[in-house]
Each structure stands twice: as C-alpha cells, then as structure tokens.
Structure 1
Amino acid sequence: MKILLYFEGQKLIAGSGIGNAMHHQMAALRANKIAYTLDPNDEYDILHINTYGLKSRKIIKQARKAHKPVIYHAHSTQEDFKNSFIGSNQLAPLYGKYLKSLYQLADVLITPTPYAKKLLTNYGLKMPIYPISNGIDINKYQINETKITAFRNYFKLDVHKKVVISVGLFFERKGIDDFVKLAELNPEITFIWFGHINFATIPRKIRKLVKTNHPANVIFPGYITGDIIQGAYSGADAFLFPSREETEGIVVLEALAASQNVIIRDIPVYADWLTNHENVFKARNIAEFNQQLHYVLEHDTKLIKNAGVKVAQARSITTVGEQLKAVYQSLLTK
C-alpha cells in the first residue's frame, strides 16, 4: 500500500494549518510504516488530497482515470472562509459551492472533528465522512527549559514578565482584534501573536491593527519556527486563541501538548472534546476572556493543564496514523 499525499503549492501553505497538517500526515504514516509519496508522478494506490486549486482537481481526474481511490481531506469549509481575506464574506457562498464540487469527487472524506463532519453533512455530501484529528507530535512540545530560555531571550523578556501568546494568520476570524483589545486592558502583560500573511490579501482594518493600531505591549514577530515557538508554547503564561470558527485548530493541540493554560472562545467545534475549567478555559466575550486570563495568572491550574495534555496525547501522531491506515485499508478491500 502506497499513498499519494497531495498538497498543491507547498511553499504557499507552509505557514498555515494545512501546511502543518502536511507534516503531521507524513509523520503519522511514517509512524505506522505506511509508504507514501508527495510526487503525483510516482506509483501509488490511494490519492489522499488536501488542497483546492486547479492542479488538485487535475490530480483527482488523473486518479479517477487510473481507477485509484480518492480521499479528500476536508480542512476547509464555507464557515471558516468568512472573515479572512478581502471579500471573503461576499465570496463565501461561492467558495462553499466550489468546495462541495471538489469534495463530491472523493470516495470518502476525512475531516478533523465531529463538528466539521456535521457541517459537511449539511452540505448534502453523501459519502462516508471520518472525523480524524490532524494530530500532534507530543514530544516536540513537551516542556524544555532550553527552548523556554531561547524564547524569553529572543524577546528580551524579564524572568518575572507575564506573557500571553497566540498563533495564527492575521484574520479577523482568528480573533486578532480581541487579542489586541485584551492587551489594551492589560498593559502590564506582554502579548505576542506569532504568524504572518501577505498584507495585500487582508482587509485594511486588520492591516492597520497589525502595523500601527495596537498598544506597545503587543508584538507581531511574524512566522517563527523551531525552538523559539516551541519554547513560547510552554514558556508563556497563557495561550489565548480567540478564534471565532475552526475545523479543529492544530495550534490548540500544540498548546495543550505543551502543558499550557489554553484560553479559547466557546464555539461549537470544541463542544464535545474541550471542557471549561476541566482541560481548557472558555470565554464568549472580552469580559470573559479577561476574567479567564486573570484566573490562570492568579491560580494553580496544574490539574487543568495536565488534563489538557491528556487530550493532546489522545490525538498523537501515532494514533492518527492508525486511524488513517484503517481508512486506507477499507478502500483497498472494497
């Protein structure tokens, strides 16, 4: 059994959730000794496609012509396209129809959560849909004092300085506006948002927010990988993710794996696997986010953080690979 993992525009998606998913899928297949290729010119048995461009559609047609089973990994929905790029709200209905036209070409769909599966089912898609997490490399995000020191030195943070981080593209959907509002309410805390995107693609108000319209205690360092970001996950005092819509949120898994205080918006995607004051902290508005932030800064949250680690462990790369393998085998034995 050999799988073609197809990701169109690998350089363009490198800093996105789909880019992270690519590396997670590769690691999951390696962990379960499943042969794979990223080259559509190689021999393969199953096409596992992850992207949505014209080349992706062409690869599907080629797989169909060769009588190869097709799995579409449904990372995106109409709902999480809104409040992102310029014009995304106006284009969202058309984008939803386009996604449906692509997803309909598959034998089965994989999507990260039961919530995302429900959205896809509501599109009228009839093929089997498997909710399988994007997964997390647990070892990479374990507490490491050397990485924590690298993070704090990089930003010249005093040992007593409280730090709140987030990771994501500069989208209103990600809650970057609320992140800045919370920073305004807490000038004594440093807020760091990791991530980047071409400014020409996002609305003017978000460009201005990132470039100039934020207080001095907010830092936008861009897209950073390796020890710095891994040290940030475990070395910060809280991970604040005020996203308004997700199909899962790989960065949430990363923060959970790092034994971090994870503060998220109370949205449907988290309803059946993340619980307020059990493994995360949930909020619905600025006042609640601020309340939760001060709670984690002022209380012993070790038990909640330990419970969060267990959530991440249940979604380890190895476990995800086992679930993918079961889907692959079901297609080959039909």
Structure 2
Amino acid sequence: MLDIHMFSSATKVKGQGVGSAYMELVRLLKSHFKNEFKISVNQFGRADISHYHTIDPRFFLSTFSRRRGRKIGYVHFLPETLEGSLTIPQPFKSIFYHYVIAFYRRMDHLVVVNPSFIPKLIAYQIPANKITYIPNFVSRKEFYQKTPEEIAALRQHYQIAADKFVILGAGQIQERKGVDDFVELARRNPDIQFIWAGGFSFGKMTEGYQRYKKIVDAPPANLRFTGIVERSELVNFYNISDLFLLPSYNELFPMSVLESFACGTPVLLRDLSLYRSIIAGYYVGATDVDAMNQQIADLRQKPAALSYMQQQARAAADYYSEERLAEIWHRFYVDQAREG
C-alpha cells in the first residue's frame, strides 16, 4: 500500500478553486483506492509520496527531510497569473514570486492542470520531463443536473421568475476574473438576471478591493452578488441558470467551468488560448465585452443553439469524469513511487 501524504492549507480560504480541486482529489483517492493508497493530510511522518497542494513555508521546510519520499508539487498558479488578483507591495512581491519558483524547483515532479503552463515552467529552468498535465474534475455527486421540477422550486426559492433568462458568473471578485465586463453586460441587458456567486476570499488584499466593494454594495438592479457560497448551494445556482459566463483574462482550468458542465449549463468564456487546448468545442468563445454581448443575444434568440451547448456541456462532463481521472491519477502515483 502506497503511503501518500497530502499537504494543503487551501481549505482555510473559502471560495477559491485550489481548495475545491484539493478536496475533489482527496475524496477521489479515498473512495476509489482505499485498499491501495493510504492518504494522510498534513502529517509529517515517513511517506512514499508527499503531494504539496499549497506553498506554505512550513511545507517548503519539510521538503528537506528524507522522510518525504517522492515530492510532488501541484501548480495552480505562477507569479504572472497572480497579477490582477492580489495587492502585494514591493519588495515583498519580488521576494514572494522568487519563493514560488523556488518551491516548484524543490519538487521531484510537478503536476499542472493546464498544458499551457508547461512552456512557462520550462522557461523557469524546470525540465519538461519533470512536468505532467492532469486536468481537474468535479464529483457528479456534488454537481449534477437537477430535474425541471427541482429547478422550478429553486427559482421560486431565489425569487426568480420561471421565464427569466439567468446568467451566472462564479469565482473571486477581482479584476483578473473580468468582473468589470460582467457588470457592464448586466447594465447592457436589464431584462436578464445576472448572478455572481463568489466574494472577496482574500479580503482587502484583493486587487482593487475598494472599487469592487462599492460595486458589490450598489450593483445594477438586475445583478445579484451572493458572496462566498458553499459548494452544496453552488450547485443550485448552476441549475437555475440558462448560461454560465466567465469573462476571466487569466485562468488555469477553472473548477467553475467543470462544475457548470456537470450541471449541463452552457458555457460562454473569454476566448483564451489556454481553453482551446483543453475544452475546444465545449464552450462558446468571445474576445471582448461586445462579442460577449452579441453571443448572449444570439443564444437567447436561438434556442436550438443554446440546447446544442447544453449537450456539449454534458459531453465535456463525460470527458472530464471522475472515473477517467481516477485511472490517470492511479497510474501517475504508481509511476512516481517507482521513480522514488
């Protein structure tokens, strides 16, 4: 039995995808491979594999122990992807960015959730043969398509008319997520109900916090900010929505997109190159706010097109299923143990 130690503090901060991805993986391993893998969390005893999900300094120090076994690092971000997310004054920003790369270099192997990160890591002098791409996934038990009757009841609960077109966005409220475009689209479409599920996970450290706080406190009449939502309720918002919109400028592999797919909700995204390599054909792309506005109008006027994107969402959910990813993770850990 492989002794795998998980190291993470991601669940201390609610409303971020890193925590969701971490919890999904731990649950998958415990449910699928309980007779093959012994999973421990934040335990510093001897291990065959130590898998680091967050870059805490105490975790970094632990990598110098021979008891750690094979050291695996999960790459959820790079220094450049933090721009537009957090306000970190100099010289602390430079020090922190240097630390991030130093942490990744301490690993025996890295896992990225998007292949677009591989050349960027190589540019940081990390060998390509030390990097593996494994996509995120979500549990069908937590995120799933509800019945029409359940959806009708939920709309009534959230005081949304049965015939109202609803567009959902999700994630932390920050510039990088394209929240400004989401607000602008709400202003341009007063007859559509817009909902943003998420809040300020890092409080006043969030880039542009004061400006976004004013928007959240006084949004357009047709825009609802829910604040940070528990996953058990988030599934409801995907189900009552006709369209999921994520206008982010910079992403890895958003858990929110996978959650939307799992609920059968069509997806509209800013057409980033990183999406084309992982979910091409499963989403509607738009380059800017004007194009997003046009896509929204087209999908509303063409029910067949919206229905087709619902089918594509379900197809994407099948491809990024827990069952398929379980096999990939099993093979990865076994191979890494042999390398150790």
Shift of 1:326: 1.6
Provide the C-alpha distance between the structure 2 equivalents of 1:44 and 1:196, rounded to a whole number of angstroms: 37
Report the equivalent of 2:259.
254
Partner of residue 162, structure 2: 159
Partner of 1:138: 140
1:222-262 residue CA offsets vs partner (Å, 9 max, x unmatched): 12225532122122111000011111111111111211110
Query: Partner amino acid for 2:211?
Result: K
1:72-116 deviation per Cα after TM superposition (whole angstroms, max 9, x unaligned): 000111232010122489976554422110000011000101112
**Partner Cα separation in structure 2 for residue 280 and residue 88 of structure 1:** 37
Q: Counterparts of 2:47 and 2:120 in 1: how far apart (Å)? A: 30
Residue of structure 2 in register with 1:200 after alignment: 204
Does the 8 Å CA contact 1:173/1:245 hold for their aligned counterparts?
Answer: yes
Equivalents in 1 of 2:318, 2:90: separation in Å?
36
How high is the sequence identity, in percent, across the aligned residues? 24
Shift, 1:38, TM fit = 0.8
In the alignment of these two chains, the number of paired residues is 328
Match for residue 174 of structure 2 among 171, 175, 190: 171
Stretches of structure 1 lacking an aligned partner (at least 5 in a row) = none
Structure 2 residue ranges without an equivalent (≥5):
none
3-state DSSP of counterpart to 1:148: helix
**Counterpart secondary structure, 1:36:** strand
1:92-171 aligned within 5 A: 94-126=95-127, 128-145=130-147, 147-149=150-152, 151-171=154-174
Q: Which amino acid aligns with 2:258?
A: L
8 A Cα contact 1:150 1:227, kept in partner: no
Which of 40, 50, 53 is 1:50 aligned to? 53
Contact persistence 2:10–2:18 (CA under 8 A): no
> Is the Cα contact below 8 Å between 1:6 and 1:48 reproduced in 2?
yes
Aligned partners of 1:94, 1:175: CA distance in 2, in Å? 27
The separation in 1 between residues aligned to 2:275 and 2:89, in whole angstroms, is 24
Say which is worse superposed, 170-179 or 95-104, in terms of deviation.
Answer: 95-104
Do the aligned partners of residues 19 and 147 (structure 1) sit closer, same or farther apart at CA in structure 2, a change above 3 Å counting? farther
Partner of 2:229: 224
What code does the residue aligned with 2:214 have?
Answer: K
Q: Distance in 1 between matches of 2:177 and 2:150?
A: 26
Residue aligning to 1:311: 316
Contact preservation (8 Å) 2:267, 2:309: no
> In the TM superposition, what is the alpha-carbon distance from 1:304 to its structure 2 partner?
2.7
How far, CA to CA, are the matches of 1:264 and 1:67 in structure 2?
Answer: 40
Q: Distance in 1 between matches of 2:270 and 2:109?
A: 30
Compute the displacement of 1:37 (Å).
1.2
1:180 to 168, 179, 183: 183
| Structure-2 separation of matches of 1:61 and 1:84 | 31
CA separation in 1, counterparts of 2:20 and 2:323? 16
- Secondary structure of 1:48's counterpart equals strand
TM-score, length of structure 2 as denominator length: 0.89
Q: CA deviation at 1:269?
A: 1.3
2:216 maps to 1:210: yes
Report SS of the residue matched to 2:168: strand
Give the CA deviation at 1:288: 0.4
Closer, same or farther in 2 for the Cα pair 1:182/1:129, shift >3 Å?
same
Aligned counterpart, 1:294: 297
